[in-house]
Structures are given as structure tokens and as C-alpha cells.
Amino acid sequence: MVKWFDRTPRDVTRQLLRQHRMPVVGDRVLLSDVRPALVPFVGQALGLELELVAKAGHVLEEAPTLESRVPLVEVVRIHAARAGAFASILESEHIDPADAMRPYADTTRSFAAAIEGADWYERLLALHVASGLLVDFFVAIAPGLPDDDQDVMLRALRGETTHPHLVGLLQRAIEATPRLSDRLAVWGRRIVGDALLQMYLAVNGPDDAGRAVPSQPRLEPAFNDIVASHTRRMDELGLTA
């Protein structure tokens, strides 16, 4: 699990969030009241989504049965459509998507490597867990974007989901090989920390070492709902989150 606040604070060289007070409900900060700078936020989201497109393609290529390939085609299509929607937001602002992704390129590649998995089953679960966590986060924070961009992003995130396709594949795999459960439960827990770090980077921006800058120390409670949704997804598979 990532230790979020044991990093050495550095001066942020460019402001990725407009200064504002973040409303607190009890001890909770609301992600919907974060105001992300549009270009870096969507650029990071696009970079992460493209990594999921690549991972979905890899999982499709490695699929052990013909039956498993059909739902995986849909998974690839949904991720690719989502990435296209994110790119369209940047292009509507006359921003080259590659330029917007570049500040997060190293951390995005590190995230992709960290959730690679040892075999097809771990890669399948990584796709499911990472996608679920990141979609929940982007949906939660999208209300801070300008209205038109918010609408495009929310339609892309909510319009179609890979959830039923991946859950069906994972449930059949676990039913056929029950001993997978323990290993996949452990693997699912490992992915959460890496995904949460990407969320912190989205809020705080990468410093020159690619580390999260803890400029919002009260933000941690805002992720409780995201982790709770992840736990429900793992429970659905009979895996302990």
C-alpha cells in the first residue's frame, strides 16, 4: 500500500489547481469541490485510459478460450471510445493531446508496470480493479470542470461500462479454478495503492521527482467512498478486498 504522506514536500513549479477553500463535511473533503486545471487533469486521464486500452488488448490477445475473446473485444472498444472522448476535450481547447499527457508520462508508465500482473488472470483483475477505481475518481472530480467539458467526460465515463464483461470472465475463471481466489484477493489489494497514488497526482500534480505533493493534507478522507466501491466490486467476485 502506498504511504501517501511520507514524501518530502517540494515547491510546485506550476499550479495545477486554482486556489480555493475545499468544503468539509465533518472530517470529509468533497472531491466534487476540487477545481482541477483542465489540460493537465484531462491529459493525465487520457494517458491512464490509453494504458488501459493497451492492457485490454493484451488481455484479449492472451485470452485462453474463444468464448472469452468476445466480451474482451467489447472491453477494448469501451476503453478506446473513452480515450477518444478525453482526447476530444483537449482538441476542442486546441491542445495537442500528446502535449497534455507528457507531464504525467513517467508516472503513468510506472503505474502500468506496477499493475502488469504475473499471468492472464492477474492482468484481467488488474484491468477490472484499475478501471473501476479510476472511473469512480474521475466521476467524483469531474464536476469541478467547466460545464461543457464536464458533460463530455461524464458521458464517456458513465455511458458504457466494462464491468459486466470483466466480472463475468472473472467469475467463470474463479468457478473453474477456485484456488485462484486467494491469489487474486491479494493482487487486488496491491493494485489499490498504486491507483490511489494516481488520484493524488491528479489533484496535486507531479513534482520533478514524479512524486505526489501533499498540498491538500485533508484530502485523504475524500477517497473513502472510492475505496468502499472497490470493496463492493471485490465482494461481488467473492474476493476479500
What sign for the dihedral angle of Cα 35, 52, 68, 176? negative
Distance CA 170, CA 236 (A): 10
Reading the chain (241 residues) residue by residue, the pLDDT tens digits are: 333 333 322 222 222 223 333 344 444 556 767 788 899 999 999 999 999 999 999 999 999 999 999 999 999 999 999 999 999 999 999 999 999 999 999 999 999 999 999 999 999 999 999 999 999 999 998 888 888 888 999 999 998 999 999 999 999 999 999 999 999 999 999 999 999 999 988 887 765 433 433 444 455 566 788 999 999 999 999 997 5
What is the bridge-based pairing of β-strands 28-29 and 24-25? antiparallel
Distance CA 83, CA 65 (A): 27
Distance of CA 220 to the CA centre of its chain: 16
pLDDT tens-digit series, residues 174-213: 999 999 999 999 999 999 999 999 998 888 776 543 343 3
Residues paired with residue 206 on neighbouring β-strands, in sequence order: 212
Distance CA 241, CA 228 (A): 9
Residue type (1 letter), 230: H
Question: Which pTM does this prediction carry?
Answer: 0.82
Which domains are present in the chain? 33-236 (1.20.1260.10)
